[in-house]
Copies of this chain bind each other. A is one copy, B any other.
Amino acid sequence: MSQVEDLAKRSREASILLRRATPGSKSAAIKAMGARLKSRLPDILEANKADVDQAKTERLSDAKMDRLRLDEKRIDEVAKALEAVGSQPDPVGKVFDERKAPSGIICKRVRVPIGVILMIFESRPNVTAEAAALCLRAGNSVLLKGGHEAARTNRMIATCLQGAVAQEGLPSDAVQMVEGGHETVDELLLLDRWIDLVIPRGGEGLIRSVVEKARMPVIKHYKGNCHVYVDEMADPIMARTVVLNAKTQRPGTCNAAEKLLIHERVAEKLLPQIAERLLKAGVKLRGDDAARRLIKDMKVATEQDWTEEYLDLIMSVKVVKDLDEAIRHINTYGSAHTDAIVTGNEMTARRFLNEVDSSSVMWNCSTRLADGGQYGLGAEIGISTERLHARGPMGAEELTCLKWVVTGNGQLRQ
């Protein structure tokens, strides 16, 4: 057995022990994770600084640098998130539904852990800790494979996490960091005997490669090419503030808006007001012909722009004829992640909400609200662009599965 397979097998063994862990011991371990991150803050920041310094020499994009960089505030946020995950109810053992079948057997579905989860991510070392905590909350072992650009930070964080797990009497192999390059990942992706699920988080290339190679199910956290559609019945102030917030509040995230669609009847009046604020916030605008007639300082948007996720202060603008064109454009070029309409017309909104086929569809609010915390679900492992199992913000509950528990008194099949 190779070293990589041994790692995966130990993860499976830990997951079998975890199935019997009490909610209390899991809570304690998760809270201890947060406490250790805070107590080792200087070491983590030092490791992160070394990673950031190296990344600078490798000329990472601003968005990627933003994802990589940790400071006391972000670690505090992570610790708070872990505290919250440690306090949230344990999904394991929850009865999903229960029924008495015609033969008299009682059939119920009960939440149980999935087993072993492989997380693969680029940058974002804060994800390491939250991912581990959520997997543990749901009784799963986790294999964490971070990007090489965050290697030192991740190693330091993993030390804290494993220490916390062991301290509470749980198997430390339940949280393991995977070191190594592409070959290691490729080998892991064949081990469906030991690994039940892969969650890749990163660029399109990484995700495509995982999907092609993996023998186990993959939950993709794919790109967010999110739209705001400003309808002819939009409140002008709401339209301005929602677009500005959706684009600029944190442009490096997958739920930031990348595209603005605006109804032709209000484009002349509203687009200049919206564009002014976006330009002032440093957003570079691209547009179709109609938009460019209204706004100077707008480059032409190419076909590629309509599908692209910028993760940056860039926004493309299209003037549309009506709701139908907006819906068709979003369903054709969008990434089925999060799309919003601003309108005062309920009928228009209902059609948008029904017909746009995205994991989150929104009416009169910012796409940046597509988030487990904002939805009131607690911490999230990410926003799934999968249709199956988990769609949209994915928390601890989505890291469990349902098992049928059937009790009878001698029933047979007739």
Question: Which A residues form the contact surface with B (CB < 8 A)?
Answer: 16, 19-20, 99-103, 105, 107, 109, 112, 114-115, 192, 196-197, 211-212, 215, 217-219, 235, 238, 241-242, 245, 249-250, 331, 349, 353, 355, 357-366, 368-371, 374-376, 386-389, 391-393, 401-413
Contacts and interface: CB of A to CB of B under 8 A. Distances in A.
Given A112-B357, A217-B386, A410-B238, A102 B362 contact: no
Contacts of A409: 238, 364-365
B388 A388 contact: yes
Given A100-B376, A361-B406, A363-B406, 7 more contacts: A197-B387, A238-B409, A353-B407, A358-B403, A359-B404, A365-B408, A391-B401
Contacts of A392: 109, 402-404
A374 B104 CA distance: 10
A100 B375 CA distance: 8
Going nearest first, the 5 A-B pairs with the smallest beta carbon separation are: A365-B408, A368-B413, A245-B412, A389-B389, A388-B389
Which among A19, A192, A406, A410 has the greatest number of chain B C-beta atoms within 10 A? A406
A406 B338 CA distance: 10
Contact of A388 (B401, B407, B408): B401
Contact of A402 (B16, B219, B370, B391): B391
A358 B110 CA distance: 12
Given A112-B357, A387-B115, A403-B359, A413 B366 contact: yes
A410 B376 contact: no
Contact of A366 (B364, B401, B404, B411): B411
A370 B406 contact: yes
A241 B413 CA distance: 11
Contacts of A370: 404, 406
A363 B409 CA distance: 8
A229 to B, nearest CB: 14
A407 B363 contact: yes
Given A101-B376, A215-B211, A408-B369, A391 B403 contact: yes
Contact of A368 (B393, B401, B412): B412
B374 A101 contact: yes
A102 B84 CA distance: 15
B407 A362 contact: yes
A353 B114 contact: no
A392 B108 CA distance: 12
Contacts of A389: 388-389
Contact of A353 (B250, B365, B405): B405
A375 B107 contact: yes
Contacts of A245: 412-413
Contacts of A405: 353, 360-361
A387 B114 contact: yes
